[in-house]
Structure 1
Amino acid sequence: MKTEHFASFDGTDLALHRHGEGRPFVLLHGLFSSAEMNWIKWGHHETIAARGYEVLMLDFRIHGESAVPQDPAAYPSRVLVRDLVALVEHLGLDDYDLGGFSLGARTTLHAVATRVLAPARVVLGGMGTAGLGEWRKRSGFFRRVIDEFDSIEQGDPAYFSKMFLKSQGIDRTAARMLLDTMPDLDLALLDNVTMPALVVCGDEDRDNGSAPELAALLPNATYVEVPGTHMSSCTKPEMGQAIADWLGDTR
């Protein structure tokens, strides 16, 4: 695997981790996580690459090895979609697959449903209808984690999220600005996601609402259930295996 950096649409330095050779598969991580935490640490990138793919794993701004801008101007609406478009343009991708987990799945759907990008196939992990159409309500939970960070104690439902945020070294000021860039998605726009789609979710994961309901709303989707909660499903080999099996062998 190799890591390189490129300038996004506004000059922000973003990290890209590349592994394998073959068909391009852009893979995006979840909120306050990173490519390392979601895909590399657990070997999912290797499982997928072994089927004949180059796995292209972006660290979103403020995450992983990417820059953490402090200027509010660096956080326009849909900034992560714009970062994703910048990556696709930087790599000169035309025929490729695109996917992600949680925030990565959400960003994928925002880009595809609004016809900003047109990958051949999409993979949507840990995402349901509430995480799209009711994002502002969902993001209120994370705003509270940030705003009340120092007063959240064990026993509070937000404590685990607080500790995860701390473990990942997330800049809370930047994170608060990033949360405000993410609008709700009109679920009617899911009709535009006509390419084959995999919806894969943990059997105990309800964090973003119903994944089966999301699969039912997409014109050409397959639903696969893997073990785990929202936080644990990405740590289990079944997640990477489900993605690799659905993508198939290109060798």
Structure 2
Amino acid sequence: MMDVTTEYYEGFGATRLALHRAGPTGGEGRPLILLHGLFSSAHVNWVKFGTAAQLVAAGFECLMPDLRVHGDSAAPHDPADYPPDVLARDLEALVAHLGLDDFDLGGFSLGSRTSARAVIGGLRPRKLILAGMGLEGLAGWARRQDFFIDVIDRFGTIRPGDPAYVSQQFLKTMDVDRVAARLLLQTMEDTAPDQLAAISMPTLVLCGDKDNDNGSADRLAETLSHATRATIPGTHMSSVTMPEMGREMVSFLTT
């Protein structure tokens, strides 16, 4: 079993956020920050299905925060705790807290979106992984935001067969605070395609072969200046459970 330790740090507005660590510490492992997807957690996205274990075996120290409103992190109800791009601000706070100046960064879905926004804002990882993300998930966020707000507003009434049903059930399973989640969803701004020019570091665009939830991963890769495209089996929900996820990440980060 892989050892995972948990500590806490302050994000934007002194919000208490959880950080889960795995792998060599004290400078022995290369720092890799991993950001999970919407309504998920570091444990579900990275630990449970073995992705972090593969990265640890390859010599990385996996630094896996729970985003605010998720996992073991706080879910405040004060709208003042949700300025635009608050998740990117939390990521910047984590990098400062850890004193990192040479690190890699990877995300899945919302984690990819947060990573991209932070890089556009000035964060400079050596390499970047955008998994479960397409161009429209960045440039057309308003549509996705409206979908998830609808899930929250109709929570408990959505029946099988409705496109929102799977998201409702995942929200229920993860016991997400719906008041805080609604506030969080409204902090996310669209990313114009020309803003993606700021993503100049080597970037892996990694997506399941049946995952179109965030639009076209091919178009995202074509838009970026230094992108590698990889496809693994799975839908948006199932691709994180596949061993190919970790294999592609390790291959990209070590070559």
Q: TM-score scaled by structure 1? A: 0.97
- TM alignment of 1:1-251, pairs within 5 A: 1-21=4-24, 22-115=29-122, 117-248=123-254
Q: Deviations over 1:65-111 (max 9, x none)?
A: 10111111111111000100000000000000011000000011111
Whether the aligned pair in 2 keeps the contact of 1:139 and 1:179 (CA below 8 Å) is: yes
Runs (4+) off by over 2 Å: none
Once the two structures are overlaid, the 10-residue window that deviates more, 195-204 or 149-158, is 149-158
| Corresponding residue SS for 2:212 | coil
Q: Residue 200 of structure 1 aligns to a residue in which SS?
A: strand
Whole-Å separation in 2 of the counterparts to 1:57 and 1:33: 12
> Residue 211 of structure 1: CA displacement?
0.3
CA positional deviation for 1:64: 0.5
Amino acid at match of 2:132: G
The C-alpha deviation readout for 1:133-174, integer Å capped at 9, x for no partner, is 000111111011001112211221111110000000001111
Q: Do the aligned residues in 2 keep the contact of 1:128 with 1:209 (CA within 8 Å)?
A: yes
Question: What is the rounded CA distance, in whole Å, between the counterparts of 1:186 and 1:89 in structure 2?
Answer: 27
- The offset of 1:9, in angstroms, is 2.8
Structure 1, unpaired ranges of 5+? none
Distance in 1 (CA, whole Å) between partners of 2:239 and 2:139 is: 23
Distance 2:189 2:181 in 1: 15
Gaps of 5+ in 2: none
Q: Secondary structure at the match of 1:61?
A: coil
**Hey, what's the Cα distance between the residues in 2 that align with 1:50 and 1:150?**
42
Measured in 2, the distance between the counterparts of 1:178 and 1:137 equals: 15
Q: Which amino acid aligns with 1:210?
A: S
When the two chains are superposed, the root-mean-square deviation of aligned CA atoms in Å is: 0.9
| Partners of 1:225 and 1:29 in 2: CA distance | 19
SS where residue 160 of structure 2 aligns? coil
What percentage of residue pairs aligned between the two structures are identical? Answer: 55
Does structure 2 retain, via aligned residues, the 8 Å contact 1:226–1:238? Answer: yes
Give the TM-score, by structure 2 length.
0.95
User: In 1, are the aligned partners of 2:30 and 2:60 still within 8 Å (CA)?
Assistant: yes
8 Å contact from structure 1 (residues 114, 189) kept in 2: no
Amino acid in structure 1 at the alignment position of 2:90:
D
1:49 is paired with a residue whose SS is helix
Following the alignment from structure 2 to structure 1, what is the Cα–Cα distance between the partners of residues 161 and 49?
Answer: 28
